[in-house]
A and B are shown apart, each in its own frame.
Chain A
Amino acid sequence: DSGVTQTPKHLITATGQRVTLRCSPRSGDLSVYWYQQSLDQGLQFLIQYYNGEERAKGNILERFSAQQFPDLHSELNLSSLELGDSALYFCASSLRGGYGYTFGSGTRLTVV
């Protein structure tokens, strides 16, 4: 157990639907990062939050949004889902930016 908790582990949904992925960071970590990993692809950075505030944005689609709550857990919302959104979504946390991440086990999203 890495200390970073992601739920759910698996999610199957239909095109056009909306889903919410949840991440609880490791105790003491203030930064949360979201990454997308499509089949046989690398890790694409989506967005970072630090202590409740958005800190950096990557290649995140407008259909996707995220937030970090006062208890530091984060949610990634994916809407108007398309087949191409099927991927592993990882959350990672660190004490602050620029230092080694601890990844959660990921949420495997399948859009059918």
Chain B
Amino acid sequence: GENVEQHPSTLSVQEGDSAVIKCTYSDSASNYFPWYKQELGKRPQLIIDIRSNVGEKKDQRIAVTLNKTAKHFSLHITETQPEDSAVYFCALPDNYGQNFVFGPGTRLSVLP
């Protein structure tokens, strides 16, 4: 089955700095790569996604880059703010393309 890893597992940055979280996968032939943000005690929310026909997608301070050959995609957050503090999950469709396998999560702390 799909094996999804995230690095790092925890990340602390100073407010205003950039943060990068990498997601690597093993088997997926997926063409769809989402990132979710989960604040403490709340539901995961889709924050950005990318399809394999493009290598990068930006939405204000967040971006996702994809390297399908190397089987990894990364979340980039620039000019971090305290409200960016959360757990971030990448996800890949399972081998049948039906449900998502989530990575273990990266806890981001933005220090004021």
Contacts and interface: CB of A to CB of B under 8 A. Distances in A.
Interface in A87-104: 90, 97-104
Contacts of B97: 97-98
Given A42-B103, A100-B49, A2 B98 contact: no
Interface of B: 30, 32, 34, 42-46, 49, 89, 93-94, 96-105
B105 A42 contact: yes
Taking residues whose C-beta sits less than 8 angstroms from the other chain, chain A's interface range is 20 to 34
B46 A100 contact: yes
B99 A58 contact: yes
Nearest to A4: B43
19 contacts: A33-B100, A42-B105, A45-B99, A45-B102, A48-B99, A50-B98, A55-B98, A55-B99, A97-B97, A97-B98, A98-B32, A98-B93, A98-B97, A98-B98, A99-B32, A100-B34, A102-B46, A105-B42, A106-B43
